[in-house]
Amino acid sequence: MSASPLPKIGFVSLGCPKNTFDSERILTQLRAEGYLIVPTYQDADLVVVNTCGFIDAAVDESLEAIGEALRENGKVIVTGCLGARESVVKDAHPNVLAVTGPHATEAVMAQVHAQLPKPHDPYQDLIPPGGLKLTPRHYAYLKISEGCNHRCTFCIIPSLRGDLVSRPIGDVLSEAEALAGAGVKELLVISQDTSAYGVDLKYRLGFHKGRPVKTRMLELVQELAKLGIWVRLHYVYPYPSVDEVIPLMAQGLVLPYLDVPFQHASPAILKAMKRPAHAENTLRRIEKWREICPDLVLRSTFIVGFPGETEAEFDELLDFLEAAQLDRVGAFAYSPVDGAAANALPDPVGEDIQQDRLARFMDVQADISAARLKARLGSEMTVLVDEVGGGRALARSYADAPEIDGVVHIAQGRGLKPGDFVKVKITRSDDYDLWGKPL
Ligand code: SF4
């Protein structure tokens, strides 16, 4: 253990962007109170592990991470989604100091205080104005709500995180402004259902800089657009209300990019999944969006081999893919999640059939994605540089969200820095990525 008077905390952050956001809040609070964050187990006085509990593999990874922290350090506080299932953590690791659930900054801080009293003089000036970020400095996640009012049968997030609780719009906008002021060039708006922002508050009026602003997606996006940086919307459902945001994209005020997790296209399967907006005419809606904003890029995720999925229903999904011509797609074979309602559905699809369908699905989409990228050859695009090294740079255009989409490779990247916007001419494409030359 360290001889330094400043208490030292090790931090392990697992799981999705929403968890990353929670980690950033805890880290910011720790630094605000004068704790030091250290990168090794050996240097730490105690370790906080922020866990994920979404699927069984994530539970295993989280339990392993807790085990490693216990072995290497011995003093461990567990938080995050798996923390909501305290008995799972305590059964595997009875020696952890404390277990808290997700988005529980205050509870984690209380446990840290109990183990390691906070230093007397917090060095507030050590904290950058946008708080501590786990993402590179030039992009940041902006979480607008917690929890979810839907009850998709394959998902246990509502039982882990509860019903939708929207953050006050004034808080969200102040945070966004602080991030932009701290040099962030791209904000990634996240939640479980961004289109539902404010529903729980009946879209009530909040205040930003003394001005009234409605707690609603449209007003949120209008305000974020004023920051003059990239704003990217994730987890939006194809509700009619989303139509109002598309003209802002057409005007270049926010990125013409929507992450819409469709998950399937067969009405019967969508109903069995209890998906939000399952009764909407999605193809018609996509067509309408593209009429208003031809540059719109759509990303989505799908589940194949959901219980009861017949060959005919899977074909409906492939037909949808062909018709919808989505730009970016991720897909998974259905796997049961402990505690999910879908586990009780009849007619599970065998693993061989699932894998065969997944491969066929990805084949169809790879051709679509490749053709859509090929259509960009010769065009000029503004890209945001993420990484540089060896004279090359990795960047992203408006069509690429970090970590989940493709990239734009720049061979002549000398002189570029992460966070730079640069205009490139697209010279090459493959199934997922582009190559560009600075202009
Ligand atoms: S919309 Fe469905 S999948 Fe997404 S968090 Fe809510 S219940 Fe889960």
> For 58-74, how does the pLDDT look when each residue is reduced to its tens digit (9 = 90+)?
888 999 999 999 999 99
pLDDT digits (tens, 9 = 90+) for 249-305: 999 999 999 999 999 999 999 999 999 877 678 999 999 999 999 999 999 999 999
Distance 153 CA to ligand 1 centre (A): 9
CA–centroid distance, residue 378 to ligand 1 (Å):
39
pLDDT band of 243, cuts 50, 70, 90: very high
pLDDT of 121 higher than 70: no
Q: Give pLDDT, residue 123.
A: 46
Ligand 1, pocket residues at CB < 6 Å = 148, 150-152, 155, 157-158, 192-193, 276
What pLDDT score was predicted for residue 31? 82
Q: To the nearest whole number, what is the mean pLDDT of the chain?
A: 91
Identify any residues that bridge with 380 across adjacent strands, giving them in sequence order.
Answer: 425
- From the CA of 146, how far away is ligand 1's center (Å)? 11
Determine the Cα–Cα distance for residues 240 and 260; give it in Å rounded to an integer: 13
Q: Which atom of ligand 1 is nearest to the CA of 275?
A: 2
Residue that is written with structure tokens 């492939």 in the block: 318
Which helix (H) or strand (E) element contains residue 17?
A: helix 17-32
Q: Give one DSSP letter per residue of 265-309, joined into a string.
A: --HHHHHHHT-TTTTS-HHHHHHHHHHH-TT-EEEEEEEES-TT-
CA distance 67 to 333: 29
The pLDDT value given to residue 128: 61
For residue 123, report the distance from its CA to the centre of ligand 1, in Å.
Answer: 40
Query: Hey, which of 155, 235, 270, 271 would you mutate to test ligand 1's pocket, going by the most ligand atoms within 8 Å of its Cβ?
Result: 155
Residue with tokens 């890029």: 297
For atom 8 of ligand 1, which residue has the closest CA? 155
> Per residue in 150-163, is it b (16+ CB within 10 Å) or e — as a string?
bebbbbbbbebbbe
| 154 CA closest ligand 1 atom index | 3
> Of 108, 45, 57, whose CA–CA distance to 80 is shortest?
108
Nearest Cα residue to atom 1 of ligand 1: 150
Average pLDDT for 181-206? 95
pLDDT tens digits for range 223-235 = 999 999 999 999 9
